């Protein structure tokens, strides 16, 4: 309760008075949750993985000082990532204490993607240090950037669908699970429609990547992996839509989305390096 009050005050400072008021007046926060073994272990494992990730990011920041004379950006981003994962941990505690309040869940997910992107960036900069060379057509780079942006939008829509489904589940007190998706409304329709756009754009990008790079190039390998993730996402999405949101499909869907984002982001970075530099970007 005290944590939520402090969080509400912070929201007031940043101009989110309505959300702050909703948190203050949400009486459901005061009602103890019924003990659930699966959910408890899921939350606990999530915290353990978060702690381990923080330790490895801290070690990365320490070792990043090896590049302080050649690329200070690696050092800066590595330290910033440690601070970001700390903030992410605090925000995760807010997500739990506020009973998954909408908007906070979405920010929590986008921050996770930001941490992933920074980690990939520092790794890539260290591997191709001093060996950057643009070797790709502008059309391929532009389309890759557009695909990445659309993917982030799609993940955001997916998180909002999750928020809506949670609200429906709470309203129905956990009953009528097979009707939750239908009750999600317009945001689910948007999520489904954008999925078609993601598929079409990635098909076009896949064709361009195959035309621009040989089949053993890291770029084509990443594009193939991305396409595999998209296909698996479609399968889990079908399970979610037509089989009453099975928990395994929910978890798989978001993991696959994160892997897809990581592969697309790494592909974008690997479009800007010399293909004849041995080991660069691998």
Please check whether residues 211 and 260 belong to one and the same domain.
yes
Q: Which residues of 160-185 are buried (b: 16+ CB within 10 A; e: fewer)?
A: bbbbbbbebbeeeeeeeeeebbeebe
Whether the pLDDT of residue 277 is over 50: the answer is no
DSSP annotation of 54: H
What residues have CB less than 8 Å from 259, skipping those under 6 apart?
225, 229
Q: What percent of the chain has pLDDT over 70?
A: 91
Residue that finishes a domain, picked among 127, 162, 181? 127
Residue pair 269/148 in contact (Cβ under 8 Å)? The answer is no
- Its domain, for residue 98, covers 33-127
Please check whether residues 50 and 119 belong to one and the same domain.
yes
Residue at 246 is within a domain: yes
Residue at 16 is within a domain: no
Residue that finishes a domain, picked among 127, 158, 191? 127
Residues 1-20: what's their mean pLDDT? 82
Residue at 136 is within a domain: yes
- The model's pLDDT over 50-106, given as tens digits with 9 standing for 90+, comes to 899 999 999 999 999 999 988 899 999 999 999 999 999 988 888 877 766 667 888
Please check whether residues 95 and 223 belong to one and the same domain.
no
Whether the pLDDT of residue 223 is over 90: the answer is yes
Residue at 5 is within a domain: no
Phi, psi of 249 (to 5 degrees): -75, -35
Residue at 205 is within a domain: yes
Per-residue pLDDT, 133: 57
The C-alpha atoms of residue 122 and residue 265 are separated, in whole angstroms, by 12
Closest residue by Cα to residue 82 from 56, 109, 43, 108 = 56
Residues 126-154: what's their mean pLDDT? 82
Residues 257-277: what's their mean pLDDT? 81
Cα dihedral 121→127→129→132 (10° resolution): -80
Token readout for 11 is: 């929201």
Whether the pLDDT of residue 141 is over 50: the answer is yes
List the single range of 129-133, 162-166, 182-186, 251-255 with lowest mean pLDDT: 129-133
Whether the pLDDT of residue 282 is over 50: the answer is no
Residue at 27 is within a domain: no
Residue that finishes a domain, picked among 127, 145, 166? 127
Per-residue pLDDT, 66: 93
Residue at 21 is within a domain: no
Domain tally for the chain?
Answer: 2
Please check whether residues 123 and 144 belong to one and the same domain.
no
Burial of 248 (0-12, 13-18, 19+ CB in 10 A): exposed
For position 234, which CATH number holds? 1.20.120
Please check whether residues 138 and 122 belong to one and the same domain.
no
Please check whether residues 100 and 159 belong to one and the same domain.
no
Please check whether residues 64 and 177 belong to one and the same domain.
no
Whether the pLDDT of residue 160 is over 50: the answer is yes
Select the more confidently predicted residue: 48 or 17. Answer: 48
Please check whether residues 83 and 216 belong to one and the same domain.
no
Per-residue pLDDT, 276: 42
Please check whether residues 118 and 140 belong to one and the same domain.
no
Please check whether residues 158 and 277 belong to one and the same domain.
yes
Please check whether residues 200 and 104 belong to one and the same domain.
no
Please check whether residues 146 and 280 belong to one and the same domain.
yes
């Amino acid at each position: 309760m005290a944590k939520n009050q402090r969080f509400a005050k912070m929201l007031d400072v940043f101009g989110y008075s309505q959300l702050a008021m909703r948190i203050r007046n949400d009486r459901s926060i005061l009602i103890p949750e019924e003990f659930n073994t699966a959910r408890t272990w899921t939350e606990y494992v999530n915290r353990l993985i978060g702690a381990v990730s923080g330790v490895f990011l801290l070690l990365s920041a320490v070792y990043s000082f090896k590049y302080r004379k050649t690329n200070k950006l690696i050092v800066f981003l590595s330290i910033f990532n440690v601070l970001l994962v700390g903030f992410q941990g605090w925000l995760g505690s807010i997500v739990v204490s506020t009973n998954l309040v909408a908007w906070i869940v979405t920010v929590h997910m986008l921050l996770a993607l930001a941490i992933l992107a920074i980690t990939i960036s520092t790794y890539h900069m260290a591997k191709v240090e001093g060996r950057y060379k643009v070797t790709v057509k502008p059309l391929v780079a532009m389309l890759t950037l557009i695909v990445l942006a659309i993917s982030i939008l799609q993940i955001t829509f997916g998180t909002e669908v999750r928020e809506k489904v949670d609200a429906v589940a709470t309203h129905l007190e956990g009953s009528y699970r097979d009707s939750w998706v239908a009750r999600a409304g317009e945001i689910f329709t948007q999520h489904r429609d954008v999925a078609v756009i993601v598929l079409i754009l990635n098909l076009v990008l896949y064709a361009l990547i195959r035309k621009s790079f040989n089949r053993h190039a890291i770029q084509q390998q990443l594009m193939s992996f991305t396409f595999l993730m998209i296909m698996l996402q479609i399968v889990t999405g079908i399970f979610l839509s037509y089989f009453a949101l099975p928990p395994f499909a929910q978890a798989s869907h978001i993991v696959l989305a994160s892997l897809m984002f990581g592969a697309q982001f790494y592909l974008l970075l690997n479009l800007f390096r010399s293909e004849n530099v041995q080991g660069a970007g691998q």
